[in-house]
Amino acid sequence: MHGQYIRNIDRQLIGEEDTFLWLSKGDLKAEIESEIVAAQEQVLQTKYYATKILNTETDSKCRLCQQFDETVDHIISACPLLAKEQYIKDMIEHMHNYTSTYARKQGYNWTKNTGMNMCQNQ
């Protein structure tokens, strides 16, 4: 799996030098930098990695959706269950921000109470 990130990037869209510029700056702690590189190289402890590299698993399918191989790319961007859950969380957050902004403009104080948003007149 070593070198997989380089093989997967589209060299017409992404320049190798620019891609690794963040590494040369030295802004990150070594532990964080190594985790990012490990994720890029697909060597984090996923079921796919355990099945194909470590030979400790027999099934590489995603624990959540059970449809596709559980790779780093799948977890980050392609798992339909994770994407759906994140979409719902993002929409709830967006709705809360919009509603609270509107309520404040109308003279209401917007508070959270036991998981529900309640308007209280000021």
* Position 97 in a domain: yes
Q: pLDDT tens digit string along 10-45? A: 655 566 676 777 778 778 888 888 888 888 777 888
Range of the domain at 118: 80-122
* Position 91 in a domain: yes
Q: State both tokens at 12.
A: 């017409």
51 vs 54: CA distance, rounded Å: 6
79 vs 69: CA distance, rounded Å: 10
* Position 10 in a domain: no
Provide the number of structural domains found in the chain. Answer: 1
Alpha-helix residue ranges (DSSP H) falling in 41-79: 47-49, 72-73
pLDDT above 90 (res 119): no
* Position 94 in a domain: yes
Q: pLDDT tens digit string along 69-92? A: 998 888 888 888 888 877 677 777
Q: What is the model's pTM?
A: 0.54
* Position 110 in a domain: yes
Name the β-bridge partners of 118.
111
Closest listed residue to residue 32, CA positions, set 22, 46, 19: 22
* Position 66 in a domain: no
